[in-house]
Amino acid sequence: MLWEHLDGLDATHVLFVLDEIDSIGKDDDILYELPRCNDNENVTETKVGVVGISNDFTFRDNLSGRVSDSLCDEEIHFPPYNANQLRNILEQRSKEAFVDGVLNDDVVPLTAAFAAQGSGSARQALKLLFKAGDLARSRDLTQVDGDLVREADELIEQGKIRDELERLPTQSHLTLFSVYHLAQKGKTPARSSDIYEVYVSAA
């Protein structure tokens, strides 16, 4: 049982921070047990709290009824980062990640602008900066410039599209192949019957 691992803690308060809490899937027992540690007197000298962090706004809808009743939670929404906030984050991280003088002056502002226009995610902004740096390193370049940031952004977007396409079921792959096949022959836009004919042949 979880409470056995908490028994004997000296701290007055213990706060569990569960980053990406939605990754626990259907096994939400931990969210049932943690808030009840004090009520069940499994932990008597410590106050237990839980902070769950998730990008999935529907996460709570999938919790079992007993977990929802036990949590007594309060939801706090944080807006996406804007370009200035992302710029501050990138400036702090880039000092640790890059040698002085490697980044051109336009790299951090441009990276922040791309990320702000997209998801507003600091993680995505850092991923973009890392990709630009990785491109420079792979080409033995001594500096990272705005052109590398733009190229990195295109590569990341292409990767997202490829990942989404790979997740599609076989039938969808065949449908896309059929449309592509017709497009290569200059036969698009195409009627659904023509697409279906190629689909059947490919299948």
Q: Domain-by-domain residue ranges, the chain? A: 2-71, 83-167, 170-202
Q: For 39-73, what is each residue's pLDDT tens digit?
A: 766 666 777 777 777 777 777 777 777 777 777 77
Q: Does domain 2-71 have CATH number 3.30.470.10?
A: no
Domains 2-71 and 83-167 share a fold: no
Look up the pTM and report it. Answer: 0.60
Q: How far is CA 136 from the centre of its chain?
A: 25
Residue 73 pLDDT: 76
Question: In the block, which residue shows the tokens 């295109």?
Answer: 154
When pLDDT is cut at 50, 70 and 90, the band that residue 193 belongs to is very high
Q: For 106-137, what is each residue's pLDDT tens digit?
A: 999 999 999 999 888 899 999 999 999 999 99
CATH code of 83-167, in short, is 1.10.8.60
2 near 30, Cβ under 8 Å?
Answer: yes
Average pLDDT over all residues of the chain: 83
